Amino acid sequence: MQAEPRHLGRVDYLPTYEAMQAFTAARHPGADEGEADQLWICEHPPVYTQGLAGKPDHVLNPGAIPVVQTNRGGQVTYHGPGQVVAYPLIDLKRAGYYVKEYVYRIEESVIKTLAHFGVTGHRVAGSPGIYVRLDDPASHAALTGPMHPADPFRGLGKIAALGIKVSRHCTYHGVALNVAMDLEPFSRINPCGYVGLQTTDLSTIGVSASWQDAADVLGRKLATYLAP
């Protein structure tokens, strides 16, 4: 049974993180009569979140934006208005697939969401998240050839960041898709630990989509692709 997207609106990061932890701690993984999976869709006020692998020196100049330490995978990222954040709370034991496939399914949901808006999303091996060609966001050409050794993301912009946690076979944290943001705060960190990694959003690459439109499409794609 697929999780129905639940729209939370704009909510502070920390209480949302704590609510995910509490929901997950109370679950009974694998039980047929256990709590139904949930899919939270929201937006956060400006906040930097640091993953378990995060290094303090990747937070260059946070200024007045709070930095919250979390237990998700990955390194530092930024959440703010104009970004759709999705938190799938999935019982993988009941869903019948493993973490690697779970990550693949989330990325596929983002790729299909971007395709809805005429944009081609790309995976980069070893770098979770979804990237677009900045010079031609609609190009279907595959990313080929070796990455440039000095700048592996040359010509690419990161449009969606992924950071997950799995506890007792149950997932929380999730994925953030940039729609129409003030991108300046990304310049104050090394996004996901990569120096100089360019971050973009749908608006910057010429797609006029409202936050709600993007949230609705991403919610539907996630519900479909994460179904057991």
Residue 42 is a catalytic residue: no
- DSSP letters of 92-116? HHHHT--HHHHHHHHHHHHHHHHHH
Look up residue 214 and give its two tokens: 């993007």
Phi-psi region of 116 (alpha: psi -120 to 50; beta: other; left: phi over 0): alpha
Selected catalytic residue, list 156, 176, 192, 226: 192
On whether the CB atoms of residues 110 and 218 are closer than 8 A, the answer is: yes
Q: Specify the amino acid at residue 115.
A: A
Q: Does residue 61 sit in helix, strand or coil?
A: coil
Closest C-alpha among 207, 198, 153 to residue 179: 207
The residues carrying an active-site annotation are 192
